[in-house]
């Protein structure tokens, strides 16, 4: 309720403090009730007349305001644009009262301050930040297909300059207190650890007293309510530069950053109220658009994953305080580093001392990497070194709460390892395999305690990929799954629980997409056409490039595993076997579909056309060479993925379309602006999807509608009910 979320108090007779603290949530959000309460409290302060200053703060450590209430946003998606614009204007005028009252307004910011929270603080006369690592300030609205609508595009550039504001608003990333101070957003940054619980409030009161004495805040108000001081030449140059950069970053798939740029440039010569009116109209034009709806869906997919899933009623999760990783290669190093970053001690084991030494060094290089130095920080590496223990001994593993195997992808090797190490472990030790294809129940067959064994599949590179597949074997206990989910979350990952099955979730759905791309080459499509079609759909890289990144040997192995499981619909692509036999295994050997030179400046090598590959493709051609439209190429690659996804649901690998959509977004970079595979299918329409599939019926069962898809199409139903 409003009364308990936003309270008004007076620590001193002329100092008002507005404290945010939503009792029903770990975050403060600006719901309609909170805005109503703010309006009422400001009315009360105006009536008092003897207020020297107002401090806005949060009672939640590490959390100021997380933005607007997006659940309310969902209820407004079909609201007329005029009403959305009016809502924006109401918020703008409400917040602007903080810069018009006869008092100094100060935002005392500790922790997350984003979206509407950043806008509220921007309308205050001054802002104080804490040095807390959790303190971050930003405007992430473009990640939802929007831009700030409560004055963020109007107020911010008048405070910190148009260039800085454009970077903040169109980039959508948060900045730390040090950067905020350099930009002029933070008027002070304090270390609250030295001053006790009231250090931030006391600093805000001191700032109010100083401002009342100097009256500097009034001079800033006058300046910030007027036009931006920038010449036409500077404005034109800034606009052209920013436009080019945004186009490069968004590839034209995300309209909000360019719309924000247009509003900010167009309003530069106006006073702040006129700029706010432009902002409101521009915001209303984006609100409820297909991109906005899709990105809101992605937000709620992530939110759901953080709050629920993987916890069975009555399950007792084991607290993981130490871990062991077996296999000191790239994957093992990544998993070990994820533990060290969260201060979890980890033993890193392999069978060769030189491999272990390289592995430990790789872990320390990653966890101590300093973005400013663009190199590992030696001091930090020394501090973290005690958390990683390189070992050849099985006994060292037995002391860990969880053991993650990340060795060669061969069933016999994995089973041999687990048979050797299981007798050494305690009664509660959890055993996990990082396998990407081998059935978990098969690996568990020889274990004495299969109930304490599950799959824990990380994605490469671990430092960048948030997804972890938690795979339940036939005998895996609820306690084990719940513990594995909690552990993955403790590492900062997004776990999705699934039942056992060939390829699990992501690889099972990735294969039809990649395999179809390779088949298209045999039918006459060029590499450039296939790559262009996939990227025009929004994929971060084309499927041909992805083959080289993953490795043709890995692709062949995964393909064979899934072909054995689903022989009726997995059709081998001749070019993949041909490249494999020719030793063209991808980037790791310098040649795959493309030829690669050595990597430069830490960046992956860039591929160039290979005459040998073109020759092999010609030799693999089947029948008459065909010309494809871009629509047909997209259909051919993504429809088999969708059909297989419905089979995943029918097979109960997962039971919720949201798990599929989030898994593909996080695991393969499925375009967020489509909202997820099933969300995209709903926008196309189930009847239209089936109609498309019928065009390709001659290609076989991989294009045959499943029972689920057929039923939906008959009622024009949706995957998202």
Active site residues: 457
CA distance 467 to 477: 22
CA distance 323 to 432: 11
Cis peptide before 237 (omega within 30 of 0): no
- Per-residue buried b or exposed e for 440-463, using 16+ beta carbons within 10 Å of the residue's own CB: bbebbeebebbebbbbbbbbeebe
CA distance 180 to 160: 10
CA distance 515 to 517: 5
DSSP strand E in 373-434: where? 375-376, 388-391, 402-405, 430-433
First to last CA, the chain: 30
Q: Residue 513 in contact with residue 637, Cβ under 8 Å?
A: yes
CA distance 661 to 721: 14
| Kind and range of the H or E run holding 108 | strand 104-109
DSSP class of 587: G
Looking only at the bridges linking them, the beta strands covering 126-130 and 104-109 are parallel
CA distance 564 to 512: 14
Closest CA to 289 of 403, 146, 192: 146
CA distance 439 to 444: 9
CA distance 66 to 22: 11
CA distance 674 to 450: 39
Task: For residue 136, count CB atoms less than 10 angstroms from its CB and return exposed for 0-12, middle for 13-18, buried for 19 or more.
Answer: buried
Q: CB neighbours (10 Å) of residue 618? A: 10
């Amino acid at each position: 309720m409003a009364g308990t979320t936003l309270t008004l108090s007076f620590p001193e007779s002329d100092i008002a403090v507005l404290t945010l603290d939503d009792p029903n949530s770990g975050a403060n959000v600006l719901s309609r009730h909170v805005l109503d309460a703010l309006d009422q409290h400001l009315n009360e302060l105006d009536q008092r007349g003897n207020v020297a200053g107002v401090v806005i703060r949060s009672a939640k450590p590490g959390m100021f305001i997380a933005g607007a209430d997006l659940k309310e946003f969902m209820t407004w998606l079909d609201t007329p644009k005029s009403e959305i614009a009016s809502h924006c204007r109401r918020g703008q005028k409400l917040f602007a009262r903080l810069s018009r009252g006869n008092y100094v307004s100060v935002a005392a910011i500790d922790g997350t301050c984003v979206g509407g929270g950043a806008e509220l603080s921007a309308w205050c006369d001054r802002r104080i930040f804490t040095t807390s690592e959790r303190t971050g300030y930003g405007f992430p609205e473009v990640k939802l297909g929007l831009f700030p609508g409560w004055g963020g595009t109007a107020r911010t550039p008048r405070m910190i300059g148009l260039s800085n504001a454009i970077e903040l608003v169109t980039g959508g990333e948060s900045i730390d207190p040090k950067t905020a101070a350099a930009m002029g957003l933070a008027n002070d940054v304090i270390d609250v650890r030295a001053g006790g619980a009231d250090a931030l409030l006391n600093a805000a009161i001191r700032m109010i007293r100083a401002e009342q004495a100097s009256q500097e805040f009034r001079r800033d108000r006058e300046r910030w309510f007027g036009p931006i001081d920038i010449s036409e030449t500077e404005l034109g140059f800034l606009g052209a530069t920013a436009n080019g950069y945004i186009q490069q970053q968004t590839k034209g798939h995300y309209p909000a950053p360019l719309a924000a740029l247009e509003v900010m440039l167009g309003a530069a010569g106006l006073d702040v109220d006129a700029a706010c009116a432009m902002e409101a109209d521009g915001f209303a034009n984006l609100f409820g658009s297909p991109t906005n709806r899709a990105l809101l869906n992605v937000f709620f997919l992530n939110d759901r994953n953080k709050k629920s899933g993987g916890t069975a009623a009555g399950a007792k999760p084991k607290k993981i305080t130490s871990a062991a990783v077996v296999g000191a290669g790239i994957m093992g190093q990544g998993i070990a580093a994820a533990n060290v970053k969260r201060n979890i001690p980890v033993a890193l084991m392999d069978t060769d001392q030189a491999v272990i030494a390289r592995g430990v060094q790789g872990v320390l290089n990653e966890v101590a990497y300093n973005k400013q130095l663009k190199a590992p920080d030696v001091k930090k590496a020394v501090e973290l070194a005690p958390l990683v223990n390189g070992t050849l001994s099985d006994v060292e593993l037995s002391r860990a709460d969880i053991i993650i195997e990340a060795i060669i992808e061969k069933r016999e090797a994995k089973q041999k390892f687990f048979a050797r190490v299981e007798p050494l472990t305690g009664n509660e030790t959890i055993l996990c395999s990082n396998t990407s294809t081998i059935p978990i129940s098969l690996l568990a067959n020889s274990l004495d305690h299969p109930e304490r064994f599950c799959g824990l599949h990380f994605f490469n590179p671990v430092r960048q990929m948030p997804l972890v597949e938690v795979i339940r074997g036939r005998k895996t206990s609820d306690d084990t799954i719940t513990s594995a989910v909690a552990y993955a979350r403790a590492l900062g990952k997004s776990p999705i629980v699934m039942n056992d099955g060939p390829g699990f979730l992501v690889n099972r759905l990735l294969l039809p997409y990649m395999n179809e791309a390779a088949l298209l080459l045999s039918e006459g499509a060029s590499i450039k056409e296939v790559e262009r079609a996939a990227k025009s759909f929004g994929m971060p890289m084309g499927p041909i490039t992805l083959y080289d990144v993953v490795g043709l040997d890995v692709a062949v192995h995964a393909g064979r595993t899934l072909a054995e499981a689903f022989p009726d619909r997995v059709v081998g692509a001749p070019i993949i076997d041909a490249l494999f036999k020719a030793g063209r295994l991808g980037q790791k050997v310098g040649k795959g579909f493309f030829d690669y030179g050595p990597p430069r400046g830490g960046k992956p090598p860039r591929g160039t056309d290979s005459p040998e590959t073109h020759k092999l493709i010609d030799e693999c051609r089947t029948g008459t060479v065909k010309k494809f439209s871009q629509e047909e190429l997209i259909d051919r690659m993504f429809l088999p993925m969708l059909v297989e996804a419905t089979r995943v649901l029918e097979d109960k690998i997962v039971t919720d379309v949201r798990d599929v959509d989030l898994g593909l977004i996080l695991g393969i970079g499925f375009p967020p602006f489509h909202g997820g595979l099933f969300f995209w299918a709903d926008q196309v329409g189930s009847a239209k999807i089936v109609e498309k599939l019928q065009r390709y019926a001659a290609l076989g069962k991989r294009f045959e509608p499943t029972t689920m898809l057929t039923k939906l199409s008959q009622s024009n139903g949706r995957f998202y009910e």
